[in-house]
Amino acid sequence: MTRRGRFITLEGGEGVGKTTNLALVVDHLEAHGIEVVRTREPGGTPRAEAIRGLLLDPAGNEPLDDDAELLLVFAARAQHLARVVRPALERGAWVVCDRFTDATFAYQGGGRGIDASRIAELEAFVQRGLTPDLTLLLDMPMAAAQRRLEGRLDHDGGERDRFERERAEFFEAVRRAYLARAKAAPDRVCVVNADQPLDAVQDELRTLLDDRLEAWS
Ligand code: Z5A
């Protein structure tokens, strides 16, 4: 019988380096001969990516209700789990995902103030017990992460999405909620100091991955 694959998520606030380091995680696992499916949330399938568009669209003429935002996040997740994550894990591939439900507890819970018990109800309904095996939480002060993001926005000439337009207090609340999640699940969530040169962040990530690979072998 094929052994179920492992499910690894990367988390953290804006600009902490999730996307940059996702590539390192995927490369490191593939170098160990592991089949890896790289994906992201919200998104990961065409319909879930369409929901992502709704969530990030800053169009100001109709504000998005907080409950509607929460339900859209979980609608995208249900589609992504059914079409991508569960099938990959069942055939033995590993899934590396840029953000997952910890982001919901951080953004919709910490940031928007939705009660964690309501998020947990949706988590149970949509995920039916499926949770990540390992979560790498990239953590750094939000002001420093914002400076990175500003550098990138200037470089790309990009527009800020609906979340990137939030105020500093929102991002501080998101960070606190992430750190509380890590404290509550220390075996699953590893906090990585993202406020250091990329080489140092990546050395830490490789060490963490090697420890898990050994523990899981
Ligand atoms: N969201 C939600 O509300 N609820 C949910 O349940 C989920 C998501 C799943 C989209 O996510 C939004 O969805 C998100 C929360 C919400 N909010 N926002 N905004 P996203 O993951 O696409 O958005 P993001 O966090 O804004 O991603 P990002 O801006 O691409 O950031 P990142 O991936 O963490 O960073 P990066 O692109 O890898 O790096 C940023 C820059 O820093 C870049 O120029 C790098 O070259 C540079 N960098 C990276 N590492 C370093 C180091 N160590 N030193 C110096 N410079 C570095």
Separation of CA 63 and ligand 1 centre (Å): 23
- Domain boundaries defined on the chain: 7-216
Separation of CA 140 and ligand 1 centre (Å): 12
- Cβ neighbours around 142 below 10 Å, total: 21
84 and 39 Cβ atoms separated by less than 8 Å: yes
Which CATH number describes the domain made up of 7-216?
3.40.50.300
Question: If you ran DSSP here, which 8-state letter would residue 167 be given?
Answer: -
What digits encode the pLDDT tens for the residues 163-217? 888 888 999 999 999 999 999 999 999 999 999 999 999 999 999 999 999 999 9
What digits encode the pLDDT tens for the residues 37-84? 999 999 999 999 999 999 999 887 789 999 999 999 999 999 999 999
Separation of CA 85 and ligand 1 centre (Å): 21
pTM of the model: 0.96
Ligand 1: which atom is nearest the Cα of residue 104? 6
Q: At CB < 8 A and 24+ separation, what contacts does 125-129 make?
A: 125/74, 126/74, 126/77, 126/78, 126/81, 127/77, 127/81, 127/101
Among 9, 10, 14, residue to substitute to test ligand 1 (most atoms within 8 Å of Cβ): 14
Ligand 1: which atom is nearest the Cα of residue 151? 44
